[in-house]
Amino acid sequence: MTVPPGSTIGIIGGGQLGRMLSMAAARLGYKCHIFDPHEHPPAADVAALFTRAAYDDRAALERFAAQVDVATFEFVNLPVEPLTVLGDKLRPGTRSLAVAQDRASEKEFIERCGGRVAPWRTVECLEEVEAAVAEVGTPLVLKTRRYGYDGKGQAWIRSPDEARGAWEKIGAEPAVAEAGVNFVAEFSVIVARWEHGGRAFWDSPENEHGDGILRRSTVPCGDLVAAQLTEAREAALHVAEALGHVGVLTVEFFAGAEGPLVNEIAPRVHNSGHWTIEGSVTSQFEQHVRAICGLPPGATDLIGAGAVMDNLIGDEVNRWPELVADAGAHVHIYGKGEPSPGRKMGHVTRVESAQPVRGTGEH
């Protein structure tokens, strides 16, 4: 199915990812229609149409389905069943969402696809948390199976006596207990996949987190990560293929002595790929539009020698006067209004050297 320029792309979720998708789609001549329950979602400012409705509002989703030529999502914690009204118009499909929404099904799926994850157990009560501590050891991190993001819904257990406190901290909800990984670096594989199996990778960024939130992504990666990329890309591609995924998919990894271990899958464009807007020939956002609309892949080579992307979290966005005065900084502000602690308000990308250099992007 080719969806030609001039068509309307529906985007479920109106956050910054939907905003950057809309901007990339507009450049290719598409109109976007945002579906989001909030009053002023950041993506609606740059899109042609906006439906304000709850994600499980079937009647609103049916009207939306009739008004769009193809639909995608930028937010993963969506009720899956109501989305079935979109049928084949939804790209990627609901399978990608369902697997990534539950940390236990995600890990089982990754392992079935040949990817490796840190030792883990599902836990449903304090006794099971204590049993996981005894079997897996500490440090151990509890993560709620659903609705966790940016380090939310997580608690560390550094010694057995912390089990109860951690279980209470995550709200005594069904969770996974996962061994703490002694990683040297974190990185992601960002891959776009087309309906009939075409795929494109970008250079893999090394990612630095603080308090569970991405702070910085840097390309190209260092030698340790580079040595683990073949295995990591293979695992990411197996996941994308097994899901029948269409569009961009991101897999986050820990790089350490044991090789690449998968942390998690995001079945969508990702914060660690924001550098591609200025740092790569084709951005992750444009490529996602190309993949879901059945257009050919764009090149993913680096534009310069590399790029560094820094998130603007909370009131860091108030530094904008200094940032826009820096001629080498590409400043992105998401138009979210008042900053609050931990909220992603914008990002800044600096591309290193204007000399075109062939990176390890592949298409």
Picking from 212, 211, 234, 208, the residue whose alpha carbon sits closest to that of residue 222 is: 208
Q: Which residues within the stretch 270-329 sit at the binding site for ligand AMP (CB under 6 A)?
A: none
Exactly one of 100, 181, 200, 243 binds ligand AMP (CB under 6 A); which one?
Answer: 181
Compute the least distance from the CB of residue 57 to ligand AMP, in Å.
28
Of the ranges 24-32, 82-90, 180-188, 221-229, which one interacts with ligand AMP (CB under 6 A)?
180-188
Exactly one of 212, 256, 335, 339 binds ligand AMP (CB under 6 A); which one?
Answer: 212
Minimum CB distance to ligand AMP smaller for 36 or for 106: 106
Q: Is residue 102 a contact point for ligand AMP (CB under 6 A)?
A: no
Tell me the number of residues near ligand AMP by CB under 6 A: 13
Alpha-carbon torsion (318, 26, 351, 311), positive or negative = positive
Binding mask 104-123 for ligand AMP (x = CB under 6 A): --------------x-----
Alpha-carbon torsion (322, 323, 324, 327), positive or negative = positive
Q: Is residue 186 a contact point for ligand AMP (CB under 6 A)?
A: yes
Q: Is residue 180 a contact point for ligand AMP (CB under 6 A)?
A: yes
Compute the least distance from the CB of residue 49 to ligand AMP, in Å.
32
Binding mask 238-277 for ligand AMP (x = CB under 6 A): --------------x----------xx-------------
Compute the least distance from the CB of residue 167 to ligand AMP, in Å.
17
Compute the least distance from the CB of residue 100 to ligand AMP, in Å.
12
Q: Which residues within the stretch 116-175 sit at the binding site for ligand AMP (CB under 6 A)?
A: 118, 141, 143, 151
Compute the least distance from the CB of residue 121 to ligand AMP, in Å.
13
| Cα 140 to Cα 136: distance, rounded to the nearest angstrom | 8
Compute the least distance from the CB of residue 212 to ligand AMP, in Å.
4
Compute the least distance from the CB of residue 350 to ligand AMP, in Å.
22
Q: Is residue 219 a contact point for ligand AMP (CB under 6 A)?
A: no
Compute the least distance from the CB of residue 43 to ligand AMP, in Å.
23
Question: What is the SS3 string spanning the chain?
Answer: CCCCCCCEEEEECCCHHHHHHHHHHHHCCCEEEEEECCCCCHHHHHCCEEEECCCCCHHHHHHHHHHCCEEEECCCCCCCHHHHHHHHHECCCHHHHHHHHCHHHHHHHHHHCCCCCCCEEEECCHHHHHHHHHHHCCCEEEEECCCCCCCCCEEEECCHHHHHHHHHHCCCCCEEEEECCCCCEEEEEEEEECCCCCEEECCCCEEEEECCEEEEEEECCCHHHHHHHHHHHHHHHHHHHHHCCCEEEEEEEEEECCEEEEEEEECCCCHHHCCHHHHECCCHHHHHHHHHHCCCCCCCCECCCEEEEEEEEHHHHHHHHHHHCCCCEEEEECCCCCCCCCCEEEEEEEEECCCCCCCCCEC
Binding mask 334-353 for ligand AMP (x = CB under 6 A): --------------------
Of the ranges 68-76, 179-187, 308-316, 348-356, which one interacts with ligand AMP (CB under 6 A)?
179-187
Q: Is residue 232 a contact point for ligand AMP (CB under 6 A)?
A: no
Contact residues toward ligand AMP (CB under 6 A) are: 118, 141, 143, 151, 178, 180-181, 186, 209, 212, 252, 263-264
